[in-house]
Chain A
Amino acid sequence: MPAPFDRNDDSVVVIVGSGAGGGTLANQLAQKGIDVVCLEAGKRHEPETHIDDEWPAFNMLAWLDNRTTSGTWRVAQDFPNLPAWHSKCVGGSPVHWAGCCPRFKDWEFKIKTTYGDIPGANMLDWPLTLEELEPYYDKADTNVGVAGTNGLPLHQPDNNAKVLLEGARRMGYKNYSTGRYGHNSAPYDGRPATIQDGFCFEGNRSKAKWSPLVSDLPKGEKTGHLEVRPESMALQIEHNGSGKVTGVLYADADGNHHVQKARVVCVAGNSIESPRLLLNSASSHHPDGLANSSGEVGKNYMRHVSDTCWGIFEKPVNFYRGNTMAGIIEDESHNDPEGRGFVGGFYMETIHLGPAFMASFMNPQQWGRDFTELMDAYENFAGMWLVGEDIPATTNCVTLNHDVKDQHGLPVPNVHYDDHKNDAEMRDYAAAKARELYQSVGAIKTVRTPPFPASHNMGTCRMSERPEDGVVNKWGQAHEVDNLFVSDGSQFTTGAAANPTITIVALAIRQADYIAEQMSHNGI
């Protein structure tokens, strides 16, 4: 029976979330002839309806359900109810994303071994190596259409990138380019080349930018094996006493509750909602939350060390024209604790914002002429985002806040985060390098912007060799529940310095092979 599927059909794989992890997995399974129901909390906003305007686009695409925050991180003061920036729409956060696609380095899969134990950290090596993942990285690059791979040229540098790359040259850096970027540099996969529209964060009307919305989901739907069900918010995963999950309880657009039966359930709601769903699925069989005997569900929340540097120049840059983040310096992405005083690496990547977001994010809570003089120099801005590895810590976590309920009556997630000393030191070091780089090309001012709500969310259902150290095994399969998988960034054992999405996509493609293989001999 082709899609749509009956709610009582217990032969389907149910995937919660249609983003980088869920959307990729859905298509991969459908291509193998496996029937999939993908429950997506958000609406389907086709590319033609995307808006070149920051706040309206944000209000259309972003996850705005209430959340709370705690901890000493700056975000808790600046954005107490918006700890993270990710999507609530069909296609998930890649509808918002820019497209930077660096891969993990081999040692970033084993930081416990490489860095040793660090006070305050919950270090662990991945149960997976770069060598094992590399073939899937290649498939992920092909799936996404990453510039610099698969015969696709690197992007032409835009104004913002040109400033960054000239600064990199003057700083003596060696490894800088427009980088691997998941946005067509030439026509590819039935989608056109970039028109340098400058609105990567606001969706993408031209479809040049990869997202499951324009790629994986329509491909999967074409097979007849995939049904994407928008405005379907998963509330609980149902399970029985014999250690299996049996279906997903969800609310439709009108708030009516339904159960979709399932043979396999894959959770891919991004790293705040995925652990929240497992915690909200507690039962007498799983009193601390589904698949949570280890107590690690929701723990080790990572969001990357983040800082932004704006350089202000004497002449216009017009940095808002062109791809939002196609420009990257990789020289600082190594591990050099002796030389730099912190473990882990970071990348320097271009970024631009329009005046609306710039006013909100440049220096939240700042006002007066100090602020407006900077805004007045907007066209002379260049911008770079600094993104580096943050330290996994048990105390950084997503928990249920039973005092605050969402529109479905469920406790909202609380996100707690304290910057580790290592994070703070990396951030200051990176900010100083960024300032120096812009000064080297004539910046007369630099502005340091504190962390944005996290666009990179990772680690809350982490992979581990041993069941007591984490939630899922090297395939993303729950240690305690064979037919339950985690398929998004929550699986990350540690976060590396790299932007996470290409790794999420690679893991999803690999997981699809494993699920198909297990289903074929009734392992699940």
Chain B
Amino acid sequence: MTEDTGASKGPSLEGQTSGEGRMRTADAAVSAEDLGTSPAADGLGELKALDRETAEVLVAVTRAMYPHDRVPNVHYERVVASLDGKAAADEGTGRLLTEGVASLATFTGRWPREFGELPEEEQVRALKRLEKGAFFKAVASEVVVNLYSQHDIWPYFGYEGPSNDKGGYVNRGFDDIDWLDDAPDYRDVPVEKTFVDPVEQVSTEERLSKEGQ
């Protein structure tokens, strides 16, 4: 569950999150070149089971599911390359992916290859209709495990990763937080945003009123 305290009153994630056109400060430090993953590089590589078009649509689908505007496509392509590997190892998975991509035509009324060009709301509307099915779940769990495990994606999140080879963080800022004394107290700022827990189907407000607040 997410609980958003009154953003309008001053504090907000503006400039911290990847909303339309926004970039965090950390982004400036992360250039694709440093990561050895030029945005143009092809993370799909030699496909083993899926056809090219299906794979390309899947790249758009994975991004629509987990959109990080500042993360180059190559990271999503690697997720699809991994799905391709699973399709090569297991015919059922191959069928699930191929048929799932084909079914996008039903849910969008457009050719699957056009999925990537659709406005985000339309992509999301189609995916919402698919989310309980096996195709969505197979793709989503691959993204969750694979995308966020790619070492060269971590700098986009400000995560420095493995540390033992560098002597840990004991001399590299493990206790360098310096703003706590001046941190504002937001206890009285009302909770604003509704967020429905997809499993329990409870909104933030419902939970808060249950808690008697």
The total of chain B residues at the interface (CB under 8 A) is 68
**A residues 31-66 touching B (CB-CB < 8 Å):** 52-55
B192 to chain A, nearest CB (A): 10
Q: In the complex the two chains form, what is the Cα distance from A443 to B145 in whole Å?
A: 28
Q: Bits for A294-322, please: 1 = Cβ < 8 Å to B, else 0.
A: 00000000000000000011111110111
B18 & A372 in contact (Cβ 8 Å cutoff): yes
A441 within 8 A of B: yes
Q: In the complex the two chains form, what is the Cα distance from A356 to B18 in whole Å?
A: 18
Q: In the complex the two chains form, what is the Cα distance from A435 to B208 in whole Å?
A: 11
Q: In the complex the two chains form, what is the Cα distance from A74 to B197 in whole Å?
A: 12
B49-57, B88-96, B103-111, B165-173: which lies at the A interface? Answer: B165-173
Q: In the complex the two chains form, what is the Cα distance from A436 to B187 in whole Å?
A: 6
B184 within 8 A of A: yes
Q: How many A-B residue pairs have CB under 8 A?
A: 204
B68 within 8 A of A: yes
Which of B7, B19, B180, B210 has a CB less than 8 Å from the CB of A444?
Answer: B7
B180 & A163 in contact (Cβ 8 Å cutoff): yes
Chain B contacts for A379, CB-based, 8 A: 26, 157-159
B115 to chain A, nearest CB (A): 15
Q: In the complex the two chains form, what is the Cα distance from A54 to B151 in whole Å?
A: 11
A445 within 8 A of B: yes
B148 & A195 in contact (Cβ 8 Å cutoff): no
Best-buried of B131, B140, B151, B211 by chain A (most CB within 10 Å): B211
B211 & A367 in contact (Cβ 8 Å cutoff): no
Q: In the complex the two chains form, what is the Cα distance from A447 to B207 in whole Å?
A: 13
Which of A159, A163, A199, A367 has a CB less than 8 Å from the CB of B66?
Answer: A367
- A442-B183 contact in complex given A198-B168, A380-B16, C-beta closer than 8 Å: yes
- A377-B17 contact in complex given A157-B175, A355-B154, A442-B183, C-beta closer than 8 Å: yes
Which of A157, A163, A372, A440 has a CB less than 8 Å from the CB of B67?
Answer: A372
B19 & A320 in contact (Cβ 8 Å cutoff): no
Which of A52, A159, A205, A314 has a CB less than 8 Å from the CB of B177?
Answer: A159
B157 & A370 in contact (Cβ 8 Å cutoff): no
Q: Bits for B137-177, please: 1 = Cβ < 8 Å to A, else 0.
A: 00010001101110101101111111111011110111111
Q: Bits for A205-241, please: 1 = Cβ < 8 Å to B, else 0.
A: 1100000000000000000000000000000000000
Chain A contacts for B5, CB-based, 8 A: 439, 443-445
A314 & B16 in contact (Cβ 8 Å cutoff): yes
B175 & A439 in contact (Cβ 8 Å cutoff): no
Q: In the complex the two chains form, what is the Cα distance from A321 to B162 in whole Å?
A: 10
B17 & A358 in contact (Cβ 8 Å cutoff): no
Chain B contacts for A372, CB-based, 8 A: 18, 66-68
B24 within 8 A of A: yes
Which of B160, B170, B184 has a CB less than 8 Å from the CB of A196?
Answer: B170
A376 & B16 in contact (Cβ 8 Å cutoff): yes
A162 within 8 A of B: yes
B199 & A373 in contact (Cβ 8 Å cutoff): no
Chain A contacts for B1, CB-based, 8 A: 363, 447-448
Chain A contacts for B175, CB-based, 8 A: 156-159, 162, 322
A402 within 8 A of B: no
A197 & B198 in contact (Cβ 8 Å cutoff): no
A518 within 8 A of B: no
A170 & B185 in contact (Cβ 8 Å cutoff): yes
Chain B contacts for A149, CB-based, 8 A: none
Q: In the complex the two chains form, what is the Cα distance from A321 to B175 in whole Å?
A: 8
B199 & A74 in contact (Cβ 8 Å cutoff): yes
Q: In the complex the two chains form, what is the Cα distance from A358 to B154 in whole Å?
A: 12
Which of B11, B168, B213 has a CB less than 8 Å from the CB of A206?
Answer: B168
Chain A contacts for B19, CB-based, 8 A: 369, 373
A371 within 8 A of B: yes
B68 to chain A, nearest CB (A): 5
Q: Which residue of B lies closest to A354 (CB)?
A: B159
B147 & A359 in contact (Cβ 8 Å cutoff): yes
Chain A contacts for B162, CB-based, 8 A: 52-53, 199
Q: Bits for B12-47, please: 1 = Cβ < 8 Å to A, else 0.
A: 110011110000101000000000000000000000
- A196-B168 contact in complex given A162-B175, A318-B176, A379-B157, C-beta closer than 8 Å: yes
A52 & B131 in contact (Cβ 8 Å cutoff): no
Chain B contacts for A77, CB-based, 8 A: 199
B13 & A377 in contact (Cβ 8 Å cutoff): yes
B126 within 8 A of A: no
Could you name 16 residue pairs across A and B whose Cβ atoms are closer than 8 Å?
A196-B174, A313-B183, A318-B158, A321-B160, A363-B1, A370-B2, A372-B68, A375-B148, A376-B157, A379-B157, A379-B159, A436-B187, A439-B5, A439-B185, A444-B12, A446-B2
Residues on A lying within 8 angstroms of B by beta carbon are 52-55, 74, 77-78, 156-159, 162-163, 166, 170, 194-199, 205-206, 312-318, 320-322, 354-356, 358-360, 363-380, 428-429, 432, 435-436, 439-448, 450
Report, nearest first, the 7 A-B pairs whose CB atoms are least far apart.
A379-B158, A195-B168, A52-B162, A321-B169, A197-B168, A442-B183, A359-B148
